[in-house]
Structures are given as structure tokens and as C-alpha cells.
Structure 1
Amino acid sequence: MKNLKSHPILSLANEFIIDSPAPSNISYIWNFGSLLGVCLIIQIITGVTLAMHYCPSIDLAFTSVEHIMRDVNNGWIIRYMHSNTAAFFFIFIYLHMGKALYYGSYSKPRILLWYTGIQMSYWDLATVITNLFSAIPFIGTDIVQFIWGGFSVNNATLNRFFSLHFLLPFILAAVIVLHLIGLHQHGRISSNGDKIPFHPYFSYKDYVTFFLFFLILSFFIFFIPNFMGEADNYIPANPLVTPPSIKIDIIYLISIPHKLGGVIAMFAAILILFLLPILDISKIRSLQFRPFMKFFYWLFIANFFILMWIGANHAEAPFIVIGQFATVFYFLYFLILIPFISILENTLADIAISNTNSKKRIIPK
């Protein structure tokens, strides 16, 4: 125990995950962060293992995947664990950020914590994603050819994307370390009387959600491993033929007919999250005490599910029109509703305080 607190490395672990003071009233909703950490660890371990058997070549890539599934000992478990955990990673990060939006975790002094927590990853068809850069005037085509390593998706493209796919999780792990440092420094509450050690009070809560997650993940791996995947993954890629059932998963490319406008909207949808600490000037942080804003928050959540549904469908009527309305509401929520309602709430609060002070002054002593 002395080594745990005196050792230069172990003392950091003790300070972060054992003796770290935490508010006594946080619930299981705060466990999504630790679940994201577990998902990332699984992704790195299974990803490195799969990379030992995968061959990033246009001639051998599909065959090497089949080799993993059929010949490598327990290779099918490792691959299905990797693919299904990736899906759960997105689910948990949406829930984690939804919780942060509800409780105002982007407000001071947690601005740096919010910025390091905005994490985004895109896994999609190489042709679709890299073609987005062709919308940039004058230099777009040159950028696409530079990324591809040629005039079309070829062996160089596969090698480059595989290298990035292998490297980005480790960069993401470094960002998560910064996120944890921000949480440790700025995520505490000011009152010393409402803090309890992280272990064992909250570590055991994490163990409960870990068990439930592994139970659900095991069900998907062993019973419905391809439920969150695509059937086209079992068809060898043909650079000369586009799959007839291809879907554009970037919803803003469906909703906005202009290609450059869709690209701008796609990046703006993420970058707008960085403006939240500036746009939300309400004196009350949590929506739990802001009923008017809470109503629009749940409308925003419903709109978010509509956008996900639109992104999973083909670019045709009526999905295009619905997607356009949902996209407009998405940006209106951040740029108009949040600042307007914040100003309205602050004004009403100031009026209420002013009236209360006036009444106190008129009451005779």
C-alpha cells in the first residue's frame, strides 16, 4: 500500500482510479466513459491480432480475411469481437455525449474536458469518403489522387488506409489520456463535503456495467455476429462495379444536393460542438432545472434518430426531403435555440431576483 502511494507511476494510478474524489450523487449514466475505454482496449488488442494475419493487398485482402475466419485458431471470434465492439463504441460515444449535452458538461471549468472528449471516426467506403475532397475548388481532384496514390482506388490506397486505420486508435488513446487528465483536474465539484473515493464506490458500478456489456457483446458474437454489419462484406471488391445496394452513410450528402455544401455541412456538424461553451450562456448548467430547454433537447434527440434512419436509407424520396428538414433543425438547435433560450432564461431569472429584492425592501422591519 505504501508503494501504491509513493511509487512515481503507481501513485498516478492510485490518484486517478482509487483515491480520486468523485461526487456522491453520480449514477450509472456516468459509466459510458469507462465502457468506451473498455471498447478501445478490445479494439486495439483484437486489431493488432488481426493485423498479424491480414494482408493489405488488393489481390490477397479478401482471401486473408477468409483465412482468418476459417484457418486461424479462434480467428472468427477475434474478427467478430473487433467488428461488433466497433459498433458498440459508436453507441456508447453517442450516449456519453448525449449525457454531456444534458448536464452541461461543456461549461466552465470543463471546456478543455469537452474539447478532448469530442472524438470522431469515419469508417466507410474509400471511394465515397475520399471523393468528398474532389468538391474542393481547383485543388480537390489533385488531393483525391494524392490520397488514392493514383487515378483510382488501388493497392496504394488500401495500404495507406490500413496504415491509418492501424495508427488512429493509438492516437485516440493518447487523446483519451488527455481527456482523463482534464477530468481529474477540472471535473471535480467545489464542495469537499460531497466527495467520496472512486474505489470501491464507483469502481463496483463500473464492474456491473462491464459484466452487462460483455454479456450483450457475447450474445452478438455467438448468435447474431453480422447483425450490425453489411452483407456486401462477403462479396470480393470489384473496382469496376459499384454495388447496386450501396448506401451513403453521411446523411448530409443525402440531404444537401450540392456536393461541396454536403461536405461543408458534414464537417460543420462536428465542429459546431466546439462552439457549445460559447453558444450556451445560461447561468444554469444542467437541463434538469431548465424545463423549457429540456423540451427542445428531447426534440433534438428525436431528430438525431431521424438523421440516423435517413443515413441508413438510399438517397431517394421521401428520405431526401425528410433529411433536409432534420438537417436544418440540427443546426438551428445549436445556432438559434440554445443561445436564444439561454438569454431568455437569464433574463427571467434576473427579473425574478429583482422582484424578490424589491419585495424585501418594501417589507417594514
Structure 2
Amino acid sequence: MSHASTYEPKTSVTRWLDARLPIIRFIADFMVFPTPRNLNYLWTFGAILAFMLIAQIVTGVILAMHFAPNTALAFDSVEKIMRDVNYGWLLRYAHAVGASMFFLAVYIHMFRGIYYGSYKAPREVLWMIGVAIFLVMMATAFMGYSLIWGQMSFWAVTVITNLFSSLDTLYSGLGTTLVQWIWGGFSVDNATLNRLFSLHYLLPFVLVGLVALHVWALHVVGSNNPTGVEVKNVEKETLPFYAYFTTKDLFALAVFGVILAYFIFFTPNYLGDAVNYVPANPLLTPPHIVPEWYFLPFYAILRAVPSKLGGVLAMFGAIAVLFFIPWLDTSRVRSLNYRPMFRWFFWGFVFSCLALGYLGAAPVTETTTMASQFFTFYYFAFFLILMPVVGIYETPKPQPDSIADTFTHKSDDGSGRGARAVAAE
């Protein structure tokens, strides 16, 4: 829903700058960008994610000033930050808890996108950039978690990087060579830590670039909305982003900030693992290696497949399949509000993700392995079977003629779907 610029420079300075670098025009157009007026609070997580990215970069840069990327000093430098650096405990907890809240917000953001069909044309590129952001986020978080150089961090690095050795099955020596290149040697050591630190510092700025592309793509095609119906009348169906939606975003951000502050100040280690407060010991393997909670569903998928190579392919495939959702969904209806059959499968998908998260943290037993295999099957079946098949055979409910129908012509039953939609039923 790209719109023509309405900005007019008022002074000679702004006219001079606008002719060379229209940054003021960009900001002004951003503020008046026409936004569907029926957006609910699930759409505020975009602004929450932008805030969390800035907070993570600011706290991360300051922490990097005091961190020592050396295997002999890394663990102690984190403790020094906590004890000796002014407000170092706050910076460290804000960064660690912030990573968890960042992923919580992005998961809600992605589930919302799937529920309301925000990946459908013309928003395919917007969705794919979002998946790329998610992938870079995961890489950044994994590298950041490893820098603590506690027992769980060290062995998580050892186990995850060793997975690439499974590529030896495809081509002899390929996986081993790749693992040694990642390690910078023949074991997880100082060179590995330095590489992880360098990339962990770099990737957040890659995220900034991807987020800028994401926002740009959004402003070309416009926001989706709960009805999934495109804007037909800009004057009746949209409102300027400022001040209507900025106010809504700020309120949601304040509520989210309260939750974030609660974890930082009262239970900062609740989402972590106590084993990571033990210095890394290459000679002592923890009895149960568990990654951070936001990796657990993918870790459960990895463990669900008996073959090492198969597990690696399934784990990365679980992310790769997200890129192809715009073409896997055959339904012409975006919002699941009008797709009663597929809506049940969606909630089953949400439950399977939560179940995989639980199973990823559970010890490996015959029961947990079978459960992981079942929910892994459902995860892939949701995208590769249910999306294409249900979209063909499902009979969706009638959609409103326009966004305006949902708030200007209330039906007698209070559903707000519009008079024509109700009559069609």
C-alpha cells in the first residue's frame, strides 16, 4: 500500500537537504503512513521487537567493553562485570533476559503472521525477510550464549558444531573439515571463542540492515489486518501511523517493559541453567545438555530423528520450510478468522511447538523420543500436507466486502462481519 509523499520542505535548509538526502521526508512519510484502522494489539509486537533490538545492541556493546574473549578469562570476566563494573549486573541481566524476551516477542509475531496470512501475496518478500531475521537472531543468540564459557555453554558449542561432521556421510571429509574450520583448530578452544565473539558482535548490525529492509518492504505493500482484506478506501479504512498507532505501540511496549523488568529485577536466572554458573570443563560432560528455551523445539526435532545427518537436516529444514509458506498455502483467504477448519490445525501446530519445547528439555527416554517424533511429524505435516490440501478442500466463511464493514455496519449478532457477509451465510 505504497502512497505518494505529502511532505513539503518549509525552509531553504530542508529544501537543500531534501534534494540530496530526503531523510526528513522519509520520517514524515513514515509518521503519516496510512495504516488499517482495525489492527489489534498483536500488531504492536513489531514495535516491541524494534525496541528490543536497540536495547540488545546498546547493552551488548557496553558488555563487550568489559568482556575478555579468552578461554582462561571469559568466565571470570563475566563475573567481574557482575561484581565490579558499575551497574554491570543490570547490564548483564538486561542483555540475557532481553534475549529471551526478544524471542518471545518474535514467536508471537510469527504466529500472528501465520494466523492472519501475512505471508500471502503481495507480502511474500516481507515474510521471507522476516524469516531471515529469525535465522540471524538464532545464530546471534547461540553465539552470545556460548561466550559465558560455563559448562552448559561450552558443551552446547561442542555438540552443535559437531553436528556438521554428519556431512561426512554425503562427502568424505567435508563435515570434519567444516567443523575444524569453525573451531579454528582440532577442538573447541580459544580460537573458537574469538570467532564466536567476533560474529556475535557483528550479526546484530546485520539484523539492523535486515530490519530496515523489512520495514521498507512493509511500507511498499502495506500492513495486513485481522480481516485479511486489502484496503479499498484509504480515507475510511486507514488512520495515520502517528499518533494513533504510535500511542497504541507505546502502551503495549510499557506493558511488555513491566514483564521484562520483573524478570530482570526479581528472577533474572529463571530462564537460565544453574550448570552454566560452573566454569567450562572439557573433561567433564554434563549429564543432560540443554540449550536455551527458545532453541528447545528445534533441539527436540534434532533428537527425534535417529540418524545424525537426518536430525541435522530436519532441524535446519524446520526453519527452511518457513521460507516457502507463501507458496505452500493454497487458500485464497488470508485470515483464519474465516477458515474454521484450518484454524483447528493451526492451534494444533501451536500446541506441537509448545510440546516440542517441553520435550527438548526433557531427558531422552523411549516415551519422550516417540512423542518428539509425533510432534515433529505434525510440525512438517502442517506446512507440507495440511496447508496445501486443506486450502483446496476447505469452504471458508464469507469475508467482509471491506475493512470498513467490520466497524461501520455491525450485524445483528454482534459479529461485526458486515451485512453482506451475514446475508451470504
Asked whether the two chains share a fold, i.e. TM above 0.5, the reply is yes
Residue 392 of structure 2, aligned match among 343, 354, 359: 343
State the match for 2:36 in structure 1.
23
Tell whether the 8 Å contact from 1:282 to 1:346 is kept in structure 2 after alignment.
Answer: no
Contact 1:247 1:314 in 2 (8 A): no
> Are 1:5 and 1:14, in contact at CA under 8 Å, matched by a contact in 2?
no
Partner in structure 1 of residue 220 of structure 2? 185
How far residue 348 of structure 1 moved from its aligned partner, in angstroms, is: 11
Contact in 1 for aligned 2:333/2:396 (Cα 8 Å): no
Q: Report the 3-state secondary structure (helix = DSSP H, G, I; strand = E; otherwise coil) of the residue aligned with 2:288.
A: coil
1:211-255 C-alpha deviation (Å, 9 max, x unpaired): 112211111111111011111221111122112232264112211
Match for 1:228: what amino acid?
L
Deviations along 1:268-304, one digit per CA (max 9) or x if unpaired, are: 1011111111111211111110101111111111111
Q: Percent identity?
A: 47
Partners of 1:173 and 1:346 in 2: CA distance? 41
Question: Which of the numbers 60, 65, 68 marks the counterpart of 1:52?
Answer: 65
Is it true that 1:11 corresponds to 2:25 in the alignment?
Answer: yes
Preserved contact between residue 135 and residue 259 of structure 1 (Cα < 8 Å) = yes
Letter in 2 for 1:306: A
* Paired residue type of 2:26: L
TM-score by length of 1: 0.92
Match of 2:200 in 1: 165
The corresponding residue for 2:175 is 140
Distance 1:195 1:213 in 2: 26
Aligned equivalent of 1:68:
81
Q: Which amino acid aligns with 1:140?
A: G
CA contact (8 A) 1:57 1:159 kept: yes
Q: What is aligned with 1:33?
A: 46
What is the CA deviation profile of residues 343-364 of structure 1, one whole-angstrom value per residue up to 9, with x for unaligned ones?
1137999xxxxxxxxxxxxxxx
**TM-score, structure 2 length as denominator?**
0.79
Return the alpha-carbon distance in structure 2 between the equivalents of residues 202 and 5 of structure 1.
Answer: 27
SS of 2:179 mapped into structure 1: helix
* Other-structure match for 1:127: 158
SS of the aligned residue for 2:70 comes to coil
Cα displacement string for residues 27-59 of structure 1 (whole angstroms, at most 9, x for unaligned residues):
111011111111110100000000000000000
Correspondence for 1:354: none
State the one-letter code of the partner of 1:134.
Answer: S
- Shift, 1:190, TM fit: 3.6
Aligned position for 1:355 = none
Runs (4+) off by over 6 Å:
346-349
CA distance in 1, matches of 2:90, 2:263: 11
Q: Is the 8 A contact 2:34 2:241 kept in 1?
A: yes
- C-alpha contact (below 8 Å) 2:339/2:396 kept by paired residues: no
1:271 equivalent to 2:314? Answer no
C-alpha separation in 1, matches of 2:339 and 2:10 = 47
1:233 and 2:276 are equivalent in the alignment: yes
Judge conservation of contact 2:126–2:214 (CA < 8 Å) in 1. yes
How many residue pairs get aligned? The number is 348
Matching residue of 2:409: none
Is the contact between residue 338 and residue 397 of structure 2 (CA under 8 Å) also seen in structure 1?
A: no
Q: Is the 8 A contact 1:5 1:11 kept in 2?
A: no
Residue 423 (structure 2) aligns with: none
Tell me, yes or no, if structure 1 residue 292 matches structure 2 residue 329: no
Farther off after superposition, 233-242 or 122-131: 122-131
Identify the match of residue 329 of structure 2 among 267, 280, 285.
Answer: 280
Aligned partner of 2:419 in structure 1 is none
Secondary structure in 1 matching 2:366: coil
Q: State how far apart, in whole Å, the 2-side matches of 1:306 and 1:132 are.
A: 23
The answer to whether residue 308 in structure 2 is matched with residue 308 in structure 1 is: no
* Structure 1 pair 181–308 and aligned structure 2 pair: CA distance change class (3 A): same
Q: Which residue of 2 aligns with 1:253?
A: 302
The whole-number CA distance in structure 2 between the counterparts of 1:301 and 1:347 is 21
Structure 1 residue aligned with 2:209? 174
Change (3 A) 1:2 1:215: farther
- 1:344-359 map, 5 Å: 344-345=393-394
**Alpha carbons 1:58, 1:158 under 8 Å: kept:** yes
Distance in 2 between residues matched to 1:231 and 1:348, nearest whole Å: 50
* Structure 2 residue ranges without an equivalent (≥5): 1-8, 146-155, 224-229, 399-425
Letter in 1 for 2:158: T
Q: CA deviation at 1:323?
A: 0.2
The alpha-carbon deviation at position 315 of structure 1 amounts to 2.2
8 Å contact kept, 1:283–1:346: no
Stretch of structure 1 that moved more, 338-347 or 226-235 = 338-347
CA RMSD of aligned residues (A): 1.8
CA 1:150–1:108: 2 relative to 1, 3 Å: same
Q: Give 1:282's aligned amino acid.
A: S
CA contact 1:279–1:335 (8 Å) conserved in 2: yes
1:320-349 per-position Cα deviation (integer Å, ceiling 9, x unaligned): 110000000111111111110111137999
> Within 2, Cα distance between the matches of 1:238 and 1:266?
27
The residue number in structure 2 matching 1:152 is: 187
Q: 1:115 is matched with which residue: 128, 153, 174?
A: 128
Contact kept? 2:331, 2:391, Cα under 8 Å: yes
Cα distance between partner residues in 2 of 1:96 and 1:107: 16
